[in-house]
């Protein structure tokens, strides 16, 4: 029975039927294959054989069927991408209240320099043994608050006590000698004044006697020899007065020159005597200022040498931070630079007080002060993390640092459409980034709105549709 094919050629009812009764492990034998090819050269192929039975199309019909199958495959291939695109291009719905957004803006990039800082007292008072001695009593413990002049430790030192006694004796002798010298000068001054007064008295007396003897001698009642004797004595006392006056002047000058030195030496010796006494008083250790005892580790009976550390005291003047940063940041850190540290899950502002000019093992030491006072609850030795802010010179495009950066690695971002109802994926290129800012090099424009929240659940999508 004949039928017309797609191009009008006669075809058999069945296209191809192959029944092989002898199937060898290596496949159809060569003779059967040759029979098939010989039969295919005739207009209608038909062959009966003990090897099998074959019915097939004539050559024109076979070509038409192959062409039809090829056209069908082409049509399916062309329609398949369109269908898949329609399926995959449909926006993925997301709730808008679950998203966070950021605006691309131009600003200076604030580079953050991380550091780990250790809390330390702003000031530490070290209490050392001046002369040393044996520990007799320990009156405080670490953590105690003490007042200025309060007794902390009591020491005893027999050798020091003997030295103090000897030095005190020597100083007392020196003071006594100076005092005797001072008394001697004063006595000499008084003696000179007394001698001068006596001479003046004698001169006055002799003048009166000479006047009386002159009258008597003139009347012949007195001898001339007696008158001349009185006149000679009066002349002697007058000459002696000039000598005594000069001696008194020189004695006064000497006293005026030596007495201040003697008095100054007396003051110095009395001060030294006080120092000697203080050596014994120094065996009772007292702080010069009030504060909190931070370190004290003494046992009663142990000996401490001169200069050996006894205790540490922290005055109540706040805390500071001591940190180290990598030497690559040395040129970007300077005094009065601001930063933040995390204290009790909140950010606290700090100011750089000092930057060490030396590099040690690839790091630079810096000291920071709290801006506005030390936060409560900090203890010496605690570790805080923070960063310093180093602002760039040239403005650049910035978006806030959000969780999307961890998902995309900064290679792409969802950009919100102008209607604020959808968003699509766009490739971007980022530069520097910090915990607060991301520098955009390309892919975005100023003023564009991007999704900055976590991309979990939408990371494989290209288009998003916002729903309420």
Q: Which residue has the tokens 């009790």?
A: 344
DSSP-derived secondary structure letter, 328: G
Helix (H) or strand (E) holding 350: strand 346-360
**Per-residue pLDDT at 86:** 44
**Per-residue pLDDT at 181:** 82
Helix (H) or strand (E) holding 406: helix 404-408
- The span from the CA of 260 to the CA of 249, in Å, is 18
Q: What is the dihedral of CA 79, 80, 83, 86, to 10 degrees?
A: -110
In order of 23, 252, 257, 261, the CA distances from 179 in angstroms are 146, 18, 15, 12
**Per-residue pLDDT at 449:** 94
**How many other C-beta atoms are found inside a 10 Å radius of the C-beta of residue 350?**
26
**Per-residue pLDDT at 14:** 36
Q: Where are the beta strands (DSSP E) in 45-157?
A: 46-49, 52-55, 92-95, 101-103, 105-121, 125-128, 133-138, 145-146, 153-156
**Per-residue pLDDT at 77:** 57
Q: Is 433 left (phi over 0), alpha (psi -120 to 50) or beta?
A: beta
**Per-residue pLDDT at 46:** 43
In order of 96, 362, 423, 448, 461, the CA distances from 101 in angstroms are 10, 41, 11, 10, 17
Structure tokens at 297: 């580790």
Q: Give the 3-state secondary structure of residue 177.
A: helix
**Per-residue pLDDT at 64:** 62
Q: Which residues pair with 366 in a beta bridge?
A: 323, 355
Sheet containing strand 46-49, edge to edge, reads 17-20, 52-55, 46-49
On whether the CB atoms of residues 124 and 254 are closer than 8 A, the answer is no
On whether the CB atoms of residues 139 and 149 are closer than 8 A, the answer is no
User: Which of 2, 168, 118, 112 shows the shortest CA–CA distance to 379?
Assistant: 118
User: Which of 321, 318, 319 shows the shortest CA–CA distance to 388?
Assistant: 321
**pLDDT digit string (tens) for the chain, length 468 residues:** 344 443 343 434 333 333 333 333 344 444 544 554 454 444 444 444 444 444 444 455 555 666 766 776 766 556 555 444 444 458 899 999 999 999 999 988 877 788 899 998 888 899 998 888 999 999 999 989 999 999 999 999 888 888 888 887 888 888 888 788 878 888 888 888 888 899 889 888 888 888 887 777 777 777 777 878 888 888 888 888 888 888 888 888 887 788 788 888 888 888 888 887 777 888 899 999 998 898 898 999 999 988 899 999 988 888 899 998 888 778 888 899 888 898 888 889 999 999 988 888 888 999 999 988 888 888 888 899 988 887 665 788 999 989 999 889 899 999 999 999 999 999 999 988 877 889 999 999 999 999 999 999 899 999 999 998
């Amino acid at each position: 029975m004949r039928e017309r094919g797609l191009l009008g050629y006669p075809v058999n009812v069945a296209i191809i039927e192959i029944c092989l009764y002898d199937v060898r492990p290596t496949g159809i034998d060569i003779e059967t294959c040759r029979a098939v090819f010989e039969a295919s050269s005739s207009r209608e192929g038909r062959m009966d054989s003990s090897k099998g039975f074959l019915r097939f199309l004539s050559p024109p019909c076979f070509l038409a069927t192959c062409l039809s199958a090829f056209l069908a495959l082409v049509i399916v291939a062309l329609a398949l991408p369109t269908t898949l695109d329609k399926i995959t291009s449909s926006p993925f719905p997301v709730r808008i209240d679950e998203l966070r957004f950021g605006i691309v803006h131009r600003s200076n990039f604030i580079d953050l320099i991380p550091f780990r800082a250790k809390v330390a007292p702003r000031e530490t008072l070290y209490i050392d043994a001046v002369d040393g001695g044996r520990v007799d009593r320990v009156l405080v413990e670490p953590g105690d608050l003490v007042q200025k002049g309060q007794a902390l430790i009591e020491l005893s030192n027999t050798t020091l006590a003997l030295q103090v006694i000897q030095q005190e004796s020597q100083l007392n002798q020196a003071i006594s000698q100076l005092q005797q010298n001072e008394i001697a000068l004063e006595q000499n001054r008084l003696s000179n004044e007394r001698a001068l007064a006596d001479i003046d008295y004698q001169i006055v007396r002799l003048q009166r006697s000479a006047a009386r003897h002159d009258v008597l001698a003139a009347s012949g009642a007195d001898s001339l020899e007696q008158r001349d004797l009185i006149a000679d004595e009066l002349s002697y006392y007058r000459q002696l007065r000039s000598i005594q006056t000069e001696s008194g002047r020189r004695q006064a000058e000497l006293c005026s020159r030596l007495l201040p030195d003697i008095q100054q030496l007396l003051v110095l010796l009395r001060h030294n005597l006080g120092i000697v006494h203080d050596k014994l008083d120094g065996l009772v250790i007292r702080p010069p200022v009030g504060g909190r005892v931070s370190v004290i580790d003494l046992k009663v009976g142990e000996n401490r040498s001169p200069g050996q550390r006894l205790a540490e005291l922290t005055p109540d003047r706040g805390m500071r931070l001591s940190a180290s940063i990598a030497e690559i940041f040395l040129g970007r850190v300077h005094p009065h630079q601001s930063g933040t540290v995390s204290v009790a899950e909140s950010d606290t502002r700090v100011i750089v007080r000092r930057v060490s000019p030396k590099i040690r093992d690839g790091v630079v030491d810096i000291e920071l002060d709290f801006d506005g006072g030390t936060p409560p609850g900090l203890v010496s030795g605690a570790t805080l993390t923070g960063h310093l802010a180093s602002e760039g010179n040239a403005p650049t495009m910035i978006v806030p640092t959000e969780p999307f950066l961890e998902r995309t690695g900064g290679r792409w971002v969802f950009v919100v459409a102008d209607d604020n109802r959808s968003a699509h994926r766009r490739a971007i290129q980022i530069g520097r980034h910090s915990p607060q800012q991301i520098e955009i090099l390309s892919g975005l424009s100023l003023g564009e709105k991007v999704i900055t929240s976590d991309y979990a659940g939408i990371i494989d999508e290209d288009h998003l549709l916002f729903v309420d």
